[in-house]
Structure 1
């Protein structure tokens, strides 16, 4: 079993808040993590997709009050939206009786719905934490290429053979399209949404061109925006926003799009082996997505990620703002990375305090103009040490 980095954070939140929402895409390991022994108190687990477990909550207030001495874990909590008002009443009663923390752990696969439903009823009573797919710190640097190719969903990463990993990801995509997504959004034909998801994989790490996507899919731009918002809400796709400071430059303002798990992106593109990946036209974009998602998986909430691109060609793949510290990060697949002028110009514009090029090598070494070539694992360690 792989230890997850957020275990300590989750334990801390459960000791401080009456309710904690653990959010992440399906099959990312939420249930496994939730059933670890976080607190000294006993826990009880209810899967709200199970008819028998759901039946136990036919009278939710009565059932939950019977288990006030336990940590109640509610999986796929979006299935029972009226539960949040009940939880509020019990939490408030518990507070009056001195039970202040560690009562409920809510697991959800759709971030916006869960945030909205819980936020309206449980404001001030709930904390939120995301569980992302496995990252490089969790699996170790020796597994970098395996993690990049297979992605970070535990069953995909831990499969005994690539063919088993490929099969798992193919089934994951099929199940999401045919069973899971219809639960959250409008009835979209599975094949239409597969085509859209695949288009995004082809456009990995690029700025979104809604008109192009709409034309290729035979729909309007508003429909594209709705499809994209759905995949973002399900934590399957990321929109990375452009640097927005008022710096007197003509900046491009569309977000960059990432299919968040590279293994899923590779399956959508029918990339069946690491060798196929290295020969594929999207290899550079896939590497960028892999770096970005690993870095963002460990960022504190206070850190804002962006990218920079000007109409004149200046570009920075990833910007991290740590208060007064601004880190500029360029991402290259080459073992002998070279810095382009556009990166230097971008760094001068945003007044970057640290400048890095992430490359596949292991040694950190200086380049000109205060740029450091660095491995992904070393960059992640430096971020964790801030």
Structure 2
């Protein structure tokens, strides 16, 4: 079963604008399925997961390029970076748009080779798991999120209400397309296999992990801190590894599409703002699996309930931008007095503040820190509190409570 992705329009635009299209993202988020669905009949498909094909690509990339006809889709290009200079030469000889479509699961491996070989020739897009709109078969209707009154009201024509436990079932299940292929798909078996495969194939190559149990402890320590300020020393201590190792492993998780770092908003206007990013897992199902929540019901009443809801909201908003081919201008605000605003979206020089709350009774108290934005000397637009309320509720003239069901 194919699920229509919001990304389709962006790929069709970028794929026929640049000679090379590179679609990155974590394993199993649907990169290959999406590109094969969009591929015209004459596009050749080659997977570097095939050992024989990979051997040819690495040992004789010139012969590889002669053997396979253009246009071509090369899957898992990170396994054979030796191909990239030959892709460049082919593009320079015949710079037609859309000749090479590439997928890669490891930006860490890819970006150096791409930046050196394909600068100015490649469009780079990053795919995440299914958004809620895509799960509802409304992928084509999805638009970037802003908390303005007009933008939010438009979402009522697409949105669908759901109760608390339906929300946490979705959070606990996660967003990998395979989980939605069959009605009774075994979620625990999928994540168990995913973690094992990820450890064995990707991280071992990237980080030369000697002790896989240490890396698994680190992965779980990161999952337990989703929605929190990044504290590298604590994560290193929990995994019993050196701080430098923790820093290296975190960069690999980030580059592999497993975690997202939300940067703090910082300006020279005020020196009191913190500079530490916040850590978010890019899939809440994987996060819940690693932190061993056995059911949506236990997750909802447990210690991570608020943090994982915040994570899910942030990632849904992120998908609305990335899957539309847009950079996400996301930041959070926090000063040294621990006054915090969960999310700032900055568009055209205007700051749109958002609070994320696990409450069905939002109040003006939830937006008390919005007034701190006046000191930043930038225009402040309409804001919102995304929460468990069932309908839109004005909190002030410029701020409204927004149902989470509209994401």
- Give me the TM-score of the superposition, normalised by structure 1: 0.90
Q: Partner of 1:275: helix, strand, or coil?
A: helix
Which 5+ residue runs of structure 2 have no aligned equivalent?
137-159
Alignment of 1:37-116 (within 5 A): 37-39=38-40, 42-55=42-55, 57=57, 59-65=60-66, 67-68=68-69, 70-95=70-95, 100-116=96-112
Which has the higher mean CA deviation after the structures are superposed, 15-24 or 183-192? 183-192
1:339-364, Cα deviation, whole Å (9 max, x unpaired): 33653343434453121100123411
Higher relative contact order (CA 8 A, sep 6+): 2
User: What value does the CA root-mean-square deviation take over the aligned residues?
Assistant: 2.0
Report the Cα offset of residue 241 of structure 1: 0.7
Q: Give the whole-Å Cα distance in 1 for the aligned partners of 2:315 and 2:210.
A: 27
1:374 alignment partner in structure 2? 402
Q: Give the whole-Å Cα distance in 2 for the aligned partners of 1:341 and 1:103.
A: 50
Q: Check the 8 A contact 1:330/1:343 in 2, yes or no.
A: no
1:256-315, Cα deviation, whole Å (9 max, x unpaired): 011110000000011121111111100100000000011011225344211111111321
Choose the corresponding residue for 2:249, options 211, 217, 227. 227
2:326 alignment partner in structure 1? 301
Structure 1 position 150 matched with structure 2 position 150? no
Q: Give the whole-Å Cα distance in 1 for the aligned partners of 2:135 and 2:352.
A: 25
Q: Give the whole-Å Cα distance in 2 for the aligned partners of 1:125 and 1:65.
A: 21
Alignment of 1:200-215 (within 5 A): 200-215=222-237
1:192-222, Cα deviation, whole Å (9 max, x unpaired): 1111111111111000112222233333322
Report the Cα offset of residue 86 of structure 1: 0.5
Q: Partner of 1:82: helix, strand, or coil?
A: helix
Structure 1 position 270 matched with structure 2 position 292? yes
Q: Give the whole-Å Cα distance in 1 for the aligned partners of 2:81 and 2:115.
A: 12
Report the Cα offset of residue 229 of structure 1: 0.8
Q: Partner of 1:281: helix, strand, or coil?
A: coil
Q: Check the 8 A contact 1:147/1:157 in 2, yes or no.
A: no
Q: Partner of 1:212: helix, strand, or coil?
A: helix
1:107-143, Cα deviation, whole Å (9 max, x unpaired): 1011132122111101111111111111111113457
1:133-177, Cα deviation, whole Å (9 max, x unpaired): 111111134574443221111112445237x11221122112212
Task: Provide the aligned length of Structure 1 versus Structure 2.
Answer: 372
Q: Give the whole-Å Cα distance in 2 for the aligned partners of 1:33 and 1:250.
A: 45
Q: Check the 8 A contact 2:168/2:300 in 1, yes or no.
A: no
Q: Give the whole-Å Cα distance in 2 for the aligned partners of 1:280 and 1:23.
A: 34
Q: Partner of 2:372: helix, strand, or coil?
A: helix
Q: Partner of 1:169: helix, strand, or coil?
A: helix
Q: Give the whole-Å Cα distance in 2 for the aligned partners of 1:306 and 1:291.
A: 14
Q: Give the whole-Å Cα distance in 2 for the aligned partners of 1:326 and 1:188.
A: 45
Q: Check the 8 A contact 1:314/1:342 in 2, yes or no.
A: no
Q: Check the 8 A contact 2:214/2:241 in 1, yes or no.
A: no
Q: Check the 8 A contact 1:137/1:377 in 2, yes or no.
A: no
Q: Partner of 2:74: helix, strand, or coil?
A: strand
Choose the corresponding residue for 1:320, options 317, 336, 345. 345
1:29-82, Cα deviation, whole Å (9 max, x unpaired): 11111111344x6111111121233255454334434544x3211111111111
Q: Give the whole-Å Cα distance in 2 for the aligned partners of 1:344 and 1:10.
A: 37
1:15 alignment partner in structure 2? 16
Q: Give the whole-Å Cα distance in 2 for the aligned partners of 1:241 and 1:44.
A: 40
Q: Partner of 1:295: helix, strand, or coil?
A: helix
Q: Check the 8 A contact 1:61/1:90 in 2, yes or no.
A: no
1:363 alignment partner in structure 2? 391
2:37 alignment partner in structure 1? 36
Q: Partner of 1:21: helix, strand, or coil?
A: strand
1:383 alignment partner in structure 2? none
2:153 alignment partner in structure 1? none
2:359 alignment partner in structure 1? 334
1:26 alignment partner in structure 2? 27
Describe the shift of the 1:180–1:303 C-alpha distance in structure 2 as closer, same or farther (beyond 3 A): closer
